Structure 1
Amino acid sequence: MVTIVEEARGVPMTSGCVVPRGDVLELLDDVRDAIPAELDDAQDVLDHRDELVGKAQHDADQALSKARSDAERMVAEAQHEAERMLSEARARAERMVADAEDQAQRTVSAGRQEYEDLVGRAHAEADRMVQAGRANYERAIEEGRAEQARLVDGTEVVQAAHAEAARVLDAAQTEAIRLRSECDAYVDGKLADFEDLLAHTLRSVGKGRSHLRGPAVASAAAPFDYHE
């Protein structure tokens, strides 16, 4: 078509031109045939836009209504399920409380029975211990009395031992006095003998000194006897 327009004969004094009608119509038919079918469909869509928008709005309203109905139904079902679960939980809790109370009652009964048994055994053990303590007390009393009697007998022995010790001490003192007297007599005798010997020695010394002071002749003629 561009070639036809460029080669067309111009109209004097204007910018227009004269083109062959048949050629142009043929080219337009070719162009129409070359246009894709999607453009026709798009045109149809544009032509039916209001109808499509209305239908879409109607479908959206229906979907929204259905969604709202489904939501309300689901909420109702959830509430019903929650109420059912709450009822079951309440029933389970009441059953558990009843079981716990029953178990507690049984435990209390068992504990009371065990307490009574323990108290009974404790009383019996206390009585046995009291009896044993009384027997031990009586045995200790008897042993104490026997020990007291033994100690009394032992006291007599101690008194006899003290008497014997006093007698031995008196005898020892008497013997000591006797020995001291004998020792004094012996020493006195020895001192007397020594006194006699000393007196004799002094006399001999006196005679010797007198002899030494005498004449030398007498000394030479008769030597002094120191053993007189």
Structure 2
Amino acid sequence: MDVVENLEAAIAAVEEARSVPLSASCVINRSELLQLLDKIKVSFPNDLARAISIQRDKENILEDAHKQADAIIEQAREEVARLVEQTTIVSSARKEANRILAEANTDGEKSREEIDAYIDSRLATLEVILNKTLDVISKGRDKLDGFETKHALSELKN
């Protein structure tokens, strides 16, 4: 910034100037100081315009940064909400899976018991039928051998 440098040079010139005895005045080379002030006058509008531009850019940069920060925060909130929802969904799914599995196990055990009872009753019926069939077969064989039940009873009485 030329303005600042030239102002500092003017201040240094006044500070380094010879003092007038018994007063607050000093002796300064008029042409040197006027040249410095002219340089300041010429460069002031350019430097002021640059400073205003920088100030505007600063405000735009800060505004953009705030927008980006807000967007990042919103994105993070959405991600957290998604993860929480996903965790809830997974937890609910596991609970439901465990419930269904327990229900299936209970139903399977109940079905197994019913099937066992049915098979046992069918086997018992078959056993009765087979026993009757064996009795009929035995009686038929006895008849074929000529051994009659009445005849066997009469021999027992003798």
Normalising by structure 2, we get a TM-score of 0.54
Matched residue type, 2:71: M
Give matches, 1:1-228, under 5 Å.
51-149=48-146
Higher relative contact order (CA 8 A, sep 6+): 2
Alignment coverage as a number of residue pairs: 103
C-alpha RMSD over aligned residues: 2.5
Matched residue type, 1:106: E
Structure 1's consecutive aligned runs of 4 or more residues displaced over 6 angstroms after TM superposition are none
> Distance between the aligned counterparts of 1:134 and 1:106, measured in 2?
42
Matched residue type, 1:129: L
> Distance between the aligned counterparts of 2:98 and 2:143, measured in 1?
66
The structural deviation recorded for 1:50 is 5.2
> Distance between the aligned counterparts of 2:122 and 2:95, measured in 1?
40
1:65-115 superposed Cα distances (whole Å, 9 cap, x missing partner): 222222122112211221122112212221222222222222222222221
Q: 2:39 aligns to what?
A: none
Farther off after superposition, 112-121 or 100-109 = 100-109
Query: Which protein shows a greater Rg?
Result: 1
Q: Which runs of 5+ in 1 are unaligned?
A: 1-47, 150-228
Normalising by structure 1, we get a TM-score of 0.39
> Distance between the aligned counterparts of 1:57 and 1:147, measured in 2?
129
Matched residue type, 2:93: M
Q: Percent identity?
A: 8
> Distance between the aligned counterparts of 2:140 and 2:53, measured in 1?
122
